[in-house]
Structure 1
Amino acid sequence: MIRVVMEHARKHPGLIPQFFFILLGMGGASFYLMRLAKGPHVTWKHGSNPEPWNNLSPSYQYKFVAINTDYKNLKKEGPDY
């Protein structure tokens, strides 16, 4: 597969940026999926802690980027279970 891509890149040098950006996009998507798989709302071991999201504090920032929400000032609105 890589050999075929290299042959095409030698014959058509205009394809090199396209190959670069495709690989960059695939790498970024893979990185983001790995990041999501390690989040607090994902359970891989159901026996040890089936609901890990219940252990998080109310000031935990769930979003990747929070523009308008200040998570430091949030208060917990419910009972402790």
Structure 2
Amino acid sequence: MFATVAKQLKSHPALIPLFFFIGGGATMSMMYLGRLALKNPAVSWDHTNNPEPWNNLKPDHQYKLFAINTDYSKLKKNGPDF
């Protein structure tokens, strides 16, 4: 299979950017899915030791990947402790 792809890339060099961007997009999407599965507070992999991990979050914990206008260090907790 790789020999066929290499042969096509040698005969059609315009396909090189296509393979580059498709491979980069697939890699970035897999990395983002891995980050969501491992770092998201709504995902619980260990139900015996910590069944509700979202209750352990502090109000100043930044769990979003990108925060444009929110300064998480100045947030205060509004609700009761569980």
Query: TM-score, normalised on structure 1?
Result: 0.91
Q: Aligned pairs, how many? A: 81
Q: Give, in angstroms, the shift of residue 62 of structure 1.
A: 2.1
Runs of 4+ in 1 over 3 A off after TM superposition: none
Task: Render the CA deviation track for 1:31-68: whole Å, top value 9, x for unaligned.
Answer: 11111111132111111111101101000112111111
Partner amino acid, structure 1, of 2:53: P
Once the two structures are aligned, what percentage of the paired residues are identical? 56
Aligned match of 2:67: 66
- Compare 9-18 and 39-48 and name the one that shifted more: 39-48
Task: Provide structure 1 residue ranges, at least 5 long, that are not aligned to the other structure.
Answer: none
Q: Give, in angstroms, the shift of residue 2 of structure 1.
A: 2.6
**Alpha-carbon separation, structure 2, partners of 1:8 and 1:31:** 29
Greater RCO structure (CA 8 Å; 6+ sep): 2
Query: TM-score, normalised on structure 2?
Result: 0.90
